[in-house]
Each structure stands twice: as structure tokens, then as C-alpha cells.
Amino acid sequence: MLGQYRFHPSRSKALSLTIYRSGIDDEGMANRHLLIVWHSRTNSCKALAEAAFEGAGNHARLMRADEVEPRHLMNAAGYLFTCPENLASMSGEMKEMFDRCYYPVLSKIGGRPYATMIAAGSDGEWAQKQIDRIATGWRLKRVAEKWIVDTGAQTEAEILAPKALSAETLDKARDMGAALGQGIAEGIF
């Protein structure tokens, strides 16, 4: 499991939905990289994923769940799955990504490291458990404690509203990205 790792890169980097760095391409893995897969309707998980990507520096690729194909999972050396819990389940787009990619990569990515960031109005445990069960089927290795960000959203208006996460929360996401990216790049995991 990751310990305390503090890393604060420049906060001024521009991010787009799918980002390539350090020669990472769709045809292969030019270097060991972390694949950050995210889905968000209210910006919470997008913000977490972008912060983790920023922290990972040149060791990551950021992709929306609906863009991920089996080859992207095959070409990555590790994963950070980031999604909201919706109705006691992971979000539909994240589930669709797992459904689409599960069998094509089964028994081909075992042993690779993974971590999760879940945003929820109160609990988040069921989304977390679903992802962990899929990761168990893939034989992935959890390398960071599960992290559930409680947004406190309980009413319809709060749940549907765009979320702005605290600087402390985003710093923690950057640190997670930095630690995962560095651990993968150095072959620690």
C-alpha cells in the first residue's frame, strides 16, 4: 500500500479529456504509465481525476470511461478508477467500460496495480465493492487504500448540482496520482 507521499507539480497545466504524454500512444506503451479512467456528471470525479493526472506528471494517461477500449487497459502498467456512486452502484458509464473490456483483458492484466477514488453523497461503499470485485476477477493488486469522497449531497438539487471540491481534497488526489505514477514508473508495484 502507498504510504504518505507528497508531491506538488505546477498547478497551471491545461487538461483535455484524453491526454497523451511522454510518447504514450494507442499502439503500445512507450513507457510504464498509469491509466486514469474517470466518469462524472457533476464534475467531482472529473476534478479528482484531473488532479491525480496532474500529480502523476509524465507517468499517466487520462481517459473518460466511455473512451477506454481493451487495448488501453492492456497498454497501461496500472490503473486509477474514478467514478461517482449512483443509487448504491458505480456510475453507468464506468460499469459499461468494465462490461466492454472485462473479457478481452481477462487473464492478461493480472498482477497490475490499481486504486480507486469514489465520490458519493454519503456512503460510496457499494460502488467501491463493485470495482473491487471486478479488480479481483482481473487479478489486479490494490496498492492504495480505498478513498471515498463524501460530497454530502442529499437532496435532488444537491445531487444534480455541479460540485466544487476543496483544495485539500484535490491536493490529496494529486498526491495519489504522484505516488501511483512514480511507483509504476520506478517498478515499485
Q: What is the pLDDT of residues 111-132, one digit of tens each?
A: 999 999 999 998 999 999 999 9
Give mean pLDDT, residues 155-165: 93
85 is a domain residue: yes
Task: Give residue 32's pLDDT.
Answer: 83
Q: 77: domain CATH number?
A: 3.40.50.360
Cα–Cα distance for residue pair 26/46, rounded to 1 Å: 22
Its domain, for residue 106, covers 34-185
**DSSP one-letter code for 31:** S
Domains: count for the chain:
1
CA 139 to chain centre: 17
Cα–Cα distance for residue pair 169/182, rounded to 1 Å: 20
Q: What is the pLDDT of residues 55-111, one digit of tens each?
A: 999 999 999 999 999 999 999 999 999 999 999 999 999 999 999 999 999 999 999
